[in-house]
Amino acid sequence: MKVKIDADLCTACGLCTDSVPQVFKMGKDVAEVIAADVPANIEGAVKDAASDCPAEAILFS
């Protein structure tokens, strides 16, 4: 599974970086993906973060 963040949508709320710090970290203005190829054991957590993101900025495929 691959994941990315739409920087135009992210409001830097910090939800994803708190919930899955293995994949997301807070950058200067918006959250950033540090592991675009998501390890299988945390795919569920990334999907949950995507559903919980208030800006719907987390996209995965």
**Cα–Cα distance, 29 to 1 (Å, whole number):** 25
The residues binding ligand SF4 (CB under 6 A) are 5, 10-17, 31, 53-55, 57-58
- Distance in Å, CB of 40 to ligand SF4, minimum: 21
- Distance in Å, CB of 20 to ligand SF4, minimum: 9
Report the residue number, 45 or 55, with the smaller CB distance to ligand SF4.
55
**Cα–Cα distance, 42 to 54 (Å, whole number):** 20
**What sign does the CA torsion over 35, 39, 45, 51 have?**
positive
- Distance in Å, CB of 38 to ligand SF4, minimum: 14
